[in-house]
């Protein structure tokens, strides 16, 4: 299982992570990012890795 780490100070609410992995990332009405889970099982690792890659401000990381 991997863990998602968000640098909320860097996040600008572009929403690309939510578009890529809506089952894990959610933006509220103010553009604030929320995680539906902090730990990701093997089923979601690929899509979360893709969401990390598309973040234009590098606000997302995954850790083992």
CATH number at residue 45: 3.30.70.20
Percentage of the chain exceeding pLDDT 70: 100
| pTM for this predicted structure | 0.91
pLDDT digits (tens, 9 = 90+) for 10-33: 999 999 999 999 999 999 999 999
Output the pLDDT for position 46.
96
Structural domain of 59: 2-63
Q: Count how many domains the chain has.
A: 1
Question: Which parts of the chain are beta strand (E)?
Answer: 2-6, 25-27, 33-35, 39-40, 60-63
Q: Give the per-residue pLDDT at 51.
A: 98
Task: Report the pLDDT averaged over residues 21-46.
Answer: 96
Q: Residue 31 phi/psi, 5° resolution?
A: 80, 15
């Amino acid at each position: 299982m991997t863990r998602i780490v968000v640098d909320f100070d860097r996040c600008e609410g572009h929403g690309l992570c939510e578009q890529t992995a809506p089952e894990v990332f959610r933006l509220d009405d103010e553009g604030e990012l929320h995680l539906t889970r902090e730990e990701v099982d093997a089923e979601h690792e690929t899509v979360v890795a893709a969401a990390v890659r598309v973040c234009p401000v590098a606000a997302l990381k995954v850790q083992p």
